[in-house]
Amino acid sequence: MNRAKVDTERDERAKRESQIVIAAERAAREEKTARLRTLRLAAQSADEPASAGPKPPRRRARLTR
């Protein structure tokens, strides 16, 4: 049985190109995550002074007999 000829150069080129695409997608995802984290922290710090007061104690439910 004859084996199919493998074009190693084409396979290696495709692998390199796919690794480049994966790295670019990862970088974009990490950049987006960092940007969203910054926005979330900014929103939290903006909300903190308004809600900086002490929380009222939680009331326990009374058990009835």
pLDDT one-digit tens code per residue, 10-35: 999 999 999 999 999 999 999 999 99
Rounded mean pLDDT of the chain? Answer: 84
Model pTM above 0.85: no
Domain-located, residue 54: no
Q: Given the structure tokens 């104690």, which residue do they identify?
A: 57
Distance CA 20, CA 38 (A): 27
Domain-located, residue 64: no
Higher pLDDT, 22 or 51: 22
Report whether pLDDT(51) > 80. Answer: no
What is residue 46's three-state secondary structure? helix
Handedness of CA 14, 19, 20, 26 (dihedral sign): positive
Q: Which domain holds residue 38?
A: 7-46
For the chain, what is the domain count? 1
Domain-located, residue 36: yes
Domain-located, residue 42: yes
Amino acid at 39: L
